[in-house]
Amino acid sequence: MSLFGTASSFGTGGTGVFGTTTTDSHNPMKDVEVTSPPDDSISCLAFSPPTMPGNFLIAGSWANDVRCWEVQDNGQTVPKAQQMHTGPVLDVCWSDDGSKVFTASCDKTAKMWDLNSNQAMQIAQHDGPIKAIHWIKAPNYSCVMTGSWDKTLKFWDTRSPTPMMSLQMPERCYCADVVYPMAVVATAERGLIVYQLENQPSEFRRIDSPLKHQHRCVAIFKDKQNKPTGFALGSIEGRVAIHYINPPNPAKDNFTFKCHRSNGTNTTTPQDIYAVNAIAFHPVHGTLATVGSDGRFSFWDKDARTKLKTSEQLDQPITACCFNHNGNIFAYASSYDWSKGHEYYNPQKKNYIFLRNAAEELKPRNKK
């Protein structure tokens, strides 16, 4: 029996497990598979910033490890290095110069991994698992921001064991995103706080959540002048809200849309509703990608308010996604996200990271 409702058979191998090798649903989109994927669910993906030549992909997983691959132009992926934590890794991010990777884990610490020397040292400590980690590069300071389930948001100068600043949040941090000078944190109990990072981080505004259920992922988008202007917030209820910080007409500009649900047009049978696990914005086009527990990813154009594409269904939920710095590669990870409880957890099941060419499919739809 499943945890909630009668779920489709996830994780049990889909339809034909043995003997039908023709329709292999683990990669229905026929995307490039990354070699040596982690042994347990992938919680986060991050591509290297533009300051570094080439594309390097970092993935954190529930197997306590963080892995790094080099993605070559021909699509080949070469495993480069790996670091371990003592607990599952929940988030990773790059420094702006591409030399360091910051990893946040359930072991309540965050580490800074220097890729050149392949050394990792601890730079942060919380009282609870750290769920979100981001690098902030401001004109007058740089630091690492960590959001944890201990309800605090801390900012760390990597050289010091005490945080530069610690902000109290109303609830556990569930997800965060940073695009200087704006940071958005979504917490438990539908909390939503925007911080401004100029000069020093401070709370800017607390926003009433546009969604009814638990927040799951958030991503900031920018306007045509490349300034952060709003964010997309995903929930467990198959819905994403697009919210502008200072829109000219909030009632019309902010909206929500449903996604990652089954039964599109058939209104008689109850829909299956899946959580939106991650949202990522294309760095060039400004269109967004969402990945969900249903094992699909979708591309959307928020300005034209249309869907651009939905993938075929993979046999596992998609837990993380990200674009590389120029938007040519879309990476997504197929692994179990615990959306149906422990019964559907199969430690033997292989986890995948797929790379897809994103240059064409994410072009905005032209408004006529």
Partner 1 sequence: MVVCNFFLQGRCRYGERCWNEHPRGGGRGGGGGGGQQHSRGEGGFGNRVWVNPSQQKGGSYIQPSYFPSQGRNSWGGGGGGGGSGDGGGRRDNVKSSDFSFSTQNRFASLDASKSFADRGGRGGTAAEDDDSKKLEMIQMDMDVWESSGQWGFSCYSIAKLPLSGFPDLSPEELRLEYYSKSASGDLQTYMNGVNQLLSQWKSRIQELKSMNPNTRAALLAELNGAGPQGSSGGFGGPPEFGSVTSGFGSKDFGSPAPAQTGSFGFPEKRPEFGFTSAPVFGAPFGSSTPQTPSGFGAPAQPSASTFSFASSSTNKPAGSSGFGSASGFSFSSAGSSTGGFGNAGAAAAPAFPQTSGGFGATPGSEAQSGSLFSSESQLTPEELDQFKAKRFTLGQIPLKPPPENLLVLR
- Least distance in angstroms from the C-beta of 164 to partner 1: 20
Considering beta carbons, is residue 241 or 333 the nearer one to partner 1?
241
Closest CA to 310 of 296, 320, 321, 331: 296
Please identify, using beta-carbon distances, which residue of 204 and 255 lies nearer to partner 1. Answer: 255
Q: How many residues lie near partner 1 (CB under 8 A)?
A: 85
Q: Which stretch binds partner 1 (CB under 8 A): 92-100, 109-117, 212-220, 279-287?
A: 212-220
Binding test (CB under 8 A) with partner 1, winner from 31, 65, 150, 315: 150
What Å distances lie between residue 284 and 85, 240, 288, 302, CA to CA? 34, 21, 10, 14
Q: Can you tell me which of 270, 303, 312, 346 binds partner 1, judged by CB under 8 A? A: 270
Task: Specify the stretch interacting with partner 1 by CB under 8 A; choose among 109-117, 281-289, 306-314, 325-333.
Answer: 306-314
Joined together, the tokens standing for residue 13 give 């191998």
> Closest separation between CB of residue 259 and partner 1, Å?
7
Q: Is 313 in the site for partner 1 (CB under 8 A)?
A: no
Q: Which of 138, 204, 255, 283 binds partner 1 (CB under 8 A)?
A: 255
Q: Is 139 exposed, middle or buried (0-12, 13-18, 19+ CB in 10 A)?
A: exposed
Determine, following the binding rule CB under 8 A, whether residue 141 of this chain makes contact with partner 1.
Answer: no
Calpha distance 149→129 (Å, rounded)? 6
Q: Which of 26, 261, 325, 363 binds partner 1 (CB under 8 A)?
A: 261
> Contact with partner 1 (CB under 8 A): which of 112, 273, 289, 353?
273
- Where in 88-127 is the site for partner 1 (CB under 8 A)? 88, 90, 106, 108, 127
Cα-based distances in Å from 114 to 68, 83, 123, 134 = 12, 10, 12, 16
What residues from 163 to 182 belong to the interface with partner 1 (CB under 8 A)? 170-172, 174
Q: Does 204 bind partner 1 (CB under 8 A)?
A: no
CA distances from 146 to 26, 51, 149, 340, 345 (A): 34, 23, 10, 28, 28
Rounded to a whole number of angstroms, the minimum distance from the CB of residue 354 to partner 1 is 21
Residue 226's Cβ-side half-sphere holds a number of Cα atoms within 13 Å equal to: 2
Cis amide bond preceding 170, omega within 30: no
How far is residue 182's CA from residue 145's CA, in Å, rounded to a whole number? 12
| Pairwise CA distance, residues 131 & 143, whole Å | 17
Which letter does DSSP use for residue 252 in this model? H
Only one of the segments 75-83, 109-117, 233-241, 352-360 lies at the binding site for partner 1 (rule: CB under 8 A); that segment is 233-241
Contact window for partner 1 (CB under 8 A) among 66-74, 176-184, 234-242, 351-359 = 234-242
User: Is residue 312 a contact point for partner 1 (CB under 8 A)?
Assistant: no
The verdict on 128 binding partner 1 (CB under 8 A) reads yes
* Contacts of partner 1 in 11-40 (CB under 8 A): none
Question: Which residues 6+ apart lie within 8 Å of 215 measured at CB?
Answer: 174, 175, 186, 187, 188, 190, 191, 192, 209, 233, 234, 235
Least separation, in Å, of the C-beta of 246 and partner 1?
Answer: 14
Q: Which of 307, 325, 363, 364: binder of partner 1 (CB under 8 A)? A: 307
Which span sits near partner 1 by CB under 8 A: 46-54, 139-147, 159-167, 268-276?
Answer: 268-276
The answer to the question of residue 154 lying near partner 1 (CB under 8 A) is no
Inter-residue contact 316 to 336 (CB < 8 Å) = yes
CB of 139 vs partner 1, minimal distance in Å: 31
Q: Coil, strand, or helix at residue 133?
A: strand
Q: What is the DSSP string of 148-185?
A: ETTSEEEEE-TT-SS-SEEEE-SS-EEEEEEETTEEEE
Q: Which residues contact 196 (CB under 8 A, 6 or more apart)?
A: 181, 182, 183, 202, 204
Query: For residues 66-95, which are near partner 1 according to CB under 8 A?
Result: 87-88, 90
Q: How far is the CB of 333 from partner 1 (least distance, A)?
A: 14
> Residue 272 Cβ, how far from partner 1 at the closest point, in Å?
5
